């Protein structure tokens, strides 16, 4: 009788609800890897953590309601549209019996989590203000490099990333396993980012900004994103066990992502491309 409980309390899963970067896509060349912008659900025992609120959070919201999950911790990497655009449409925010804690790091121009939501939900851009949210929302601001103890044996480490306007990377440590969420960030070619390598050291899985290829990178070097080849180098240097690439650019069709998936499989053990609906057990 005790076994199902044990499985439940130790459960550590990562589910990708949105893997696209920059904007949503919606044509026949973008079916397999999904259409939605960044949102990742992490289940740690009975706790639900959510990383970023791109359009993927809309489907996640419907799923949370179906699963009777009434509480989440929502962490934002930063406030660019592809990471926040689902917030006004996240159904649980309009339910009285739902509660959430909303975390974000320091960004250029915005230092309080609440201001991110205020900025998204105001006339003339959106007719509903956040005061219309019926759920309970607690806003929390994260300092650079802060480590958070969420209770239930969940520890969150944070790290500033290299991105225009700033962004925050997260590492979730839970019962001897770990997951890192690293988007949006860039790198300097041929210069390993030792601080990031240490941050993801030995993780069981990290999600990483694989917007570009090394060949494309020079053209986009100032955009604040990275490459799938850099993800492999990081994985090897940090001894991370697995990597899932995300932030797929709108021009990256299913065919193009298939090719990158193949290259990752050949060149990086444990490396794969994230797609909407992919669930990984740690
Ligand atoms: Zn982005
Ligand atoms: Zn960004």
Q: pLDDT tens-digit profile of 165-213?
A: 999 999 999 999 999 999 999 999 999 999 999 999 999 999 999 999 9
Q: pLDDT tens-digit profile of 258-277?
A: 999 999 999 999 999 999 99
Confidence at 1, pLDDT banded by 50, 70, 90: very low
Angle at 224 between CA 124 and CA 20, to 5 degrees: 65
Nearest ligand, CA 247: 1
Q: 281 C-alpha vs ligand 2 centroid, how far in Å?
A: 27
Domain locations along the chain? 2-274
- Out of 3.60.15.10, 3.50.30.50, 3.30.360.10, 1.10.3720.10, which CATH number does the structure's domain 2-274 have? 3.60.15.10
Residue 8 confidence (pLDDT): 77
Mean pLDDT on 130-151: 95
- Phi/psi-derived region of residue 151, left when phi > 0, alpha when psi is between -120 and 50, beta in every other case: left
Tokens representing 260 are 């990158």
Q: pLDDT tens-digit profile of 4-54?
A: 445 578 999 999 999 999 999 999 999 999 999 999 999 999 999 999 999
Q: 209 C-alpha vs ligand 2 centroid, how far in Å?
A: 10
Q: 29 C-alpha vs ligand 1 centroid, how far in Å?
A: 21
Q: 224 C-alpha vs ligand 2 centroid, how far in Å?
A: 7
Q: pLDDT tens-digit profile of 214-268?
A: 999 999 999 999 999 999 999 999 999 999 999 999 999 999 999 999 999 999 9
Query: What 3-state DSSP class applies to 75?
Result: strand
| Phi, psi for 20 (deg, rounded to 5) | -85, 145
Nearest ligand, CA 163: 2
Taking 90 as the threshold, does the pLDDT of residue 2 lie above it? no
- Average pLDDT over the chain, rounded to an integer: 95
Residue 2, number of CB atoms within 10 A of its CB? 6
Taking 60 as the threshold, does the pLDDT of residue 133 lie above it? yes
Q: 140 C-alpha vs ligand 1 centroid, how far in Å?
A: 22
Q: Helices 254-267 and 228-238 sit at what angle, rounded to 10 degrees?
A: 30
Residue 6 confidence (pLDDT): 52
Mean pLDDT on 90-105: 97
Residue 167, number of CB atoms within 10 A of its CB? 25
Confidence at 3, pLDDT banded by 50, 70, 90: very low
Nearest ligand, CA 19: 1
Q: Residue 188, exposed/middle/buried by CB under 10 A (0-12, 13-18, 19+)? A: exposed
């Amino acid at each position: 009788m005790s076994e199902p409980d044990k499985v439940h309390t130790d459960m550590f899963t990562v589910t990708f609800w949105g893997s696209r970067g920059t904007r949503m896509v919606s044509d026949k060349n973008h079916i397999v890897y999904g259409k939605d912008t960044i949102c990742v659900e992490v289940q740690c025992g009975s706790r639900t953590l959510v990383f970023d609120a791109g359009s993927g959070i809309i489907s996640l919201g419907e799923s949370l309601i179906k699963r009777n999950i009434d509480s989440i911790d929502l962490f934002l990497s930063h406030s660019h549209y592809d990471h926040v655009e689902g917030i006004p449409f996240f159904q649980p925010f309009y339910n009285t019996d739902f509660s959430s804690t909303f975390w974000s790091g320091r960004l250029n121009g915005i230092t309080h989590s609440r201001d991110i939501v205020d900025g998204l939900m105001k006339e003339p851009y959106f007719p509903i203000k956040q005061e219309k949210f019926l759920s309970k929302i607690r806003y929390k601001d994260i300092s650079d490099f802060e480590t958070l103890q969420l209770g239930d044996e969940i520890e969150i480490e944070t790290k500033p990333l290299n991105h225009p306007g700033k962004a925050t990377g997260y590492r979730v440590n839970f019962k001897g396993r770990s997951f890192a969420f690293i988007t949006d960030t860039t790198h300097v070619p041929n210069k390993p980012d030792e601080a990031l390598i240490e941050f993801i050291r030995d993780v069981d899985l990290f999600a990483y900004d694989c917007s570009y290829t090394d060949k494309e990178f020079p053209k986009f070097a100032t955009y604040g994103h990275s490459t799938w080849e850099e993800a492999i180098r990081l994985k090897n240097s940090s001894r991370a066990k697995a990597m899932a690439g995300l932030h797929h650019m709108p021009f990256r069709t299913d065919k193009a992502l298939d090719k990158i998936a193949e290259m990752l499989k050949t060149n990086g053990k444990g490396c794969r491309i994230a797609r909407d609906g992919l669930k990984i057990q740690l």
